[in-house]
A and B are shown apart, each in its own frame.
Chain A
Amino acid sequence: MKIIVAIKQVPERDAPIRIDASGKWIDEFGLQWALNESDAYALEEALLLKEKSGDPTSEVIVLSAGPERVGVTLREALAKGADRAIHILADDLASRDSLGLARLLAAAIAPEKPDLILTGLQSEDLGLGQTGVILAELLGLPHASLILTVEKTATGLAVKRELEESWFQTIDLPLPALLTIQSGGNKLRYATLMGIKRAKSKECRVLPAADLAPASPPVVTLASVTLPQKQKSTQFLTGSPAEAAAALIEKLRTEARVL
C-alpha cells in the first residue's frame, strides 16, 4: 500500500504571538517550528498501517509545502519511519488560500497514484481544517474526516470517526481514499537517535511550487490580525453557595461556552 501523509510545519505551541509590521501575520523572528500535532497522529497512523500490513513494498511518503525551513520537519518525519519525502518549495504560501494550497498538493500527489492519503485534521496556526477535504474533492477521492483509527479491510478501509459529545461511528470506504486524522487516536512514537541517523540516507525530493501549480489570486484573503483582550486571570465567584453556583453556570454557558 502506498500512503502519502501531507504534513504542515507550524510555530511551536508555546511560541510568543506578536503581530508583525504588515499587521497581517505574526512576527516570525526567532520562532521555533514543529510538526503540526494532528499531522503527527496522521503520520503515526500511516506507519502503523505499513507495519501491520507486513508488506515490504508498502511505502509511507511525507509531503509538505513551504519554505526551506520545512525541510527540518520532513527530516523528523523520515526519522520517525517515513520512507521518503517530497518538499514543495514555496515562499509565497501566505498569498495562497486553502484551495490554492490544495491545488499545489494535488499536483504533487497525482503522479504518485497513492492508495491512501492522510492529513491532520487541522493546523495549530490557521486552524481552518479544510486542506484535506478540499484535496479529496480535487482528486475526486472519497474521504472521511475526524478519524481516530484506520483498518484495512478486504473492500477498502474501516475507520473510526469521532462525533460530537463522545459518540463514535465506523465508516467503510473503498481505496483510493483520503482521511483527515484527529489527534489522540493512537500513541505517538518518540524520535530516536537511530531514526535520525537512518533518515540521512532517505530521499527528500524538492519540487518548486511554480512548476507544479502557478499561484492564482486567492478567493479568500486574510486582511488583518489583532490580539484579543483575553483575561487569563482566575475569576473568583463570590456570594452564598447558591449565588456562586448560579453565577458559575451562567459563566460556563455564555462566557466559556462549554455547557
Chain B
Amino acid sequence: MLTALSNLPTLAEPESFSTLEKILFLALVFASGWGFWRRFNFVLQRILRSRPDPGFKLTHIGKRVWDFFWEVLCQAKVIRERPLPGLAHAFVFWTFCAFAIVTLNHCASALGLGFLSPAGVFGQLYFDLAGLFALACSVSILYLFARRFLLRPIWLGKDLSWESGVIALLIFLLMATYLASFFFTSSAPEARVLWWAHTLCLLAFLPLIPHTKHLHLVLSPATIFLSRGSFAHIPPLSGDEDFGLVAGTDLTRLISLQAYSCVECGRCTEHCPAVATGKVLNPKEIVLGLRSYLNDFGPASAEPLLGHYNSQEAVFQCTTCGACEFQCPVGIEHVPILVGLRRGAVNTGAWEDDHGGKLFLNLERGSNALGLSTTERDRFIEKTALPIFDGTQEYCLWLGCMGGYDPKGREIVADFARVMRHLGASFGVLRKEKCTGDPVRRLGNDLLFQQLAEENLKALAQNKVRKIVTICPHCVRTIQEDWKEYGTPPEVEHHSEFMARFADRLAPQSSGSESIVFHDPCYLGRYRNVYDEPRAIVAQSGQLVEAPRNHERSFCCGAGGGLAFLGDESGQRVSHDRVQELIATGATTIAAACPFCNTMLNDALAATGDAAPKLVDIAQLAARGAARLS
C-alpha cells in the first residue's frame, strides 16, 4: 500500500534557495505584510475607536461556538440560501482552510525551515489531499467568475467589480501553480518558477484583503461569533446623551465591525420587500453606506449619518421583516442598524412625517395606535360577551390594537374566544389595554415606548396577569423581548402555539378538500421560529399548500416596522406583490396568523377582483373545526 501511495503524484518543491532569493523573499514578505497591516490597522482602529455597545455581554458561549461551527466552518447559511454558488464558495473556503498548513510550509521552506516534506508519508498525503481541494476550488472559482461576469445576477450590483475579478484570478493562479507543480520534480527549474509564481500571487493577495470586501476573510468569523445574541435584537440606549444613531460618535464597535464585514453578496437585497417593490431602501446600501461613512469620517465625527450615503427616506421604508439579517452569511445585523438610524431621527425630532406624528400623538394622549376611543373596545367586549380577567383565570387574552378595534381583528378574536371556550380554557380580557408599543419601538421613539412599556408592565402586575395569549405576533414579540428592557414581562405565546397543543381536539372528522396556502408572518416565523404550529391547524382544515417563498423565506405583507400606520407607499405595494404570489399557488384559501397580515392582504385582495381566494385567520379555521365537533 505504501508503495502504491508513493506512486501517486507529489508536490514539487525546490530543495533550496539562494541567499539572494531569501533576501528577495523576505523583502517581498515585508512589503506585502506592511501593505496588509497599514490598511488593516486603519480598519481595526475605526472599529476599536467606535464606542462600546451598551448592554452587550459575551454570554451564551455555547450558542456562539455552535454558530461559528455551523455558519463559518460548515458554511451552512452560505449554501442553504444560494445552493450552487454557496457550495462553490464553500469549496473555496475549505480550500483556504486546508491550505493554511500548505502556505505556512511554502513560506517556511524559503528560509530552509520547511516542516512538511513531500517525500514523507504524511506530507505526501496532505499535499495530495490539498491537491483535491485545489481542484474543487479551481472549478468553483471558475464557476463563480462566470456567474459574476457572464451571468451577472442583479443582486451583485449594477457595476462589474474589478476587485472581484482580480481576486478570482489570483485564487485561480494560486490553485493552478499548486496543481501544476505536481507535474514536475523538485529539481526541475519549472518547480522553482512555479514556486515563485505561487509566492507572488500570495504576496499580492495579502495586501488586497483589507483593501477590498475580502476583509471578510479576517473579520467575519469574529462578526458571527460576536453577534448580539438574538435575532433582530434592539440594544438599549445608554445615558442621557444617547438618542440612537445620529452621527459617527454613535456608531458602536459591533456596527463598525459588521459594516466592514460586508461581502456585497446582495442576499439581503434579494429578499428585501422594499427592494422588490421599487423603493429607495436597499439594505446592502445601508451597510455599505455606513462603511463609506467610516472610511470618510471615522467614528469620532459629528457629521450626520444620514445625508451623505443614506437617506432618511430610505430608512423609513423598512418593514423590519428581518429577511436581510436572516440571510446574511457574515453575521451583519441589519434590523438594529435600521432601528438605530430611525431612533436618531425620531428621538431628536428630525423626522417630520404627518402620519408618523399622528401615530405618536395618538399614543401620547390615548391608549391605542388607531386613535379610537376606548368605548369602541368596551362595546366589542360587551357584544362578544368576552369574560373580564380578574386574576383568577389562567390566561389573559390580550386583544391588542387590531384585535380590539379593527373589524377583521375582532373577527379573529371572536373566533379564537370560541376555540378557547370549546377547549374549556380559563381566560379573560383586560378591561383596559394600552398599545404594547410595537410600532413606536420599530420607528425608534424611545420616549413613547418607555412610557407604554412601563405603564403596561405596572398594569399587568396589578391585574396579576401571569400568562398571556394573543392573536398578534407583534404583541408577542414586543411583550416578550422589548419590554424586558423595562421590567419582567409575563409569559406570552401566540394563539397558534396555544392551539397546536390541542390540535387533536380541534380536528374535524374529515379535513376537507379546499387548498389552503399559509402565509408565514415575519414576526412569527423569522422572529420567533414558529412554523409548524400554524401549519398543524391548517392541515386539519384542508390541503396545505406552500407559497414559493415560505418558512424563513416568507415575503412580508408590508405592515411591519410601523409602516401600517404611515399612509401611502411609493411604488408598487408590498402587499400586492405577496398576494400575487399567493394567488398564483392556485389555492382557494389563504390562511394568515397575524391581524396586520390579514388587513394588508385583505386590502390587496380587494383590488384583485371577484375571483380572489378567501382570506382567513387560523383561528377561524380552528373555530370551524371546533364547531363541527360540538
Contact = CB atoms under 8 A, between A and B. Distances in A.
Interface of A: 12-14, 34, 187-197, 232
Contacts of B348: 192-194
Contacts of B349: 189-190, 192, 194-195
Contact of A193 (B243, B361, B374, B375): B243
Nearest to B374: A14
A232 B243 CA distance: 44
Contacts of B361: 188, 190
Nearest to B239: A197
A231 B367 CA distance: 24
A193 B366 contact: no
Contacts, number: 54
Contact of A14 (B354, B364, B367): B367
The 7 A-B pairs at the shortest CB distance, nearest first, are namely A190-B360, A193-B347, A193-B447, A192-B349, A14-B374, A194-B348, A193-B446
B347 A192 contact: yes
B306 to A, nearest CB: 16
B240 interface: yes
Nearest to B357: A190
15 contacts: A12-B366, A14-B374, A187-B354, A187-B357, A190-B349, A190-B356, A190-B361, A191-B448, A192-B346, A193-B445, A193-B447, A194-B243, A195-B447, A197-B240, A197-B241
A236 to B, nearest CB: 16
- The contact size tier of chain B is 20 to 34
Contacts of A13: 365-366, 373
A246 to B, nearest CB: 29
Contacts of B373: 13-14
A191 B366 contact: no
A232 B365 CA distance: 23
Interface string B241-253: 1010000000000
Contact of A192 (B240, B366, B447): B447
- Is the contact region of chain B dominated by helix, strand, or loop, or is it mixed? helix
A88 to B, nearest CB: 24
* Interface SS of chain A: loop
A56 to B, nearest CB: 19
Nearest to A197: B240
B225 to A, nearest CB: 32
Given A192-B347, A193-B347, A232-B375, A34 B365 contact: yes
A12 B347 contact: no
A12 B365 contact: yes
A79 to B, nearest CB: 8
A51 B364 CA distance: 24
B360 A14 contact: no
A129 to B, nearest CB: 20
Contact of A191 (B240, B241, B364): B364
Contact of B366 (A14, A189, A196): A14
Contacts of B354: 187
A14 B378 CA distance: 12
A197 to B, nearest CB: 5
B374 A190 contact: no
Interface in B352-383: 354, 356-357, 360-361, 364-367, 373-375, 379
A34 B365 CA distance: 7
A194 B239 CA distance: 12
Which of the listed residues B241, B349, B366, B374 has the most CB atoms from chain A within 10 Å of its own CB? B349
Contacts of A34: 364-365
B356 to A, nearest CB: 8
Interface string B143-166: 000000000000000000000000
Contacts of B346: 192
Contacts of B356: 190
Contacts of B448: 190-191
Contacts of A232: 375, 379
B439 to A, nearest CB: 13
Interface string B502-545: 00000000000000000000000000000000000000000000
A221 to B, nearest CB: 31
B540 to A, nearest CB: 38
B367 A196 contact: no
A110 B612 CA distance: 69
Nearest to A14: B374
A232 B447 CA distance: 35
Contacts of A195: 349, 447
Residue from B240, B356, B446, B447 having most chain A Cβ neighbours under 10 A: B447
A196 B364 CA distance: 13
B313 to A, nearest CB: 19
A12 B237 CA distance: 29
Given A190-B360, A191-B447, A195-B447, 8 more contacts: A12-B365, A12-B366, A14-B373, A187-B357, A188-B357, A191-B360, A192-B349, A194-B347
A104 B430 CA distance: 43
Contacts of A194: 243, 347-349
A187 B354 CA distance: 8
Nearest to A79: B447
Nearest to A80: B349
The residue among B237, B347, B354, B446 with the most chain A CB atoms within 10 A of its own CB is B347
A196 B365 contact: no
Q: Which of A12, A34, A187, A193 has the largest count of B CB atoms less than 10 A from its CB? A: A193
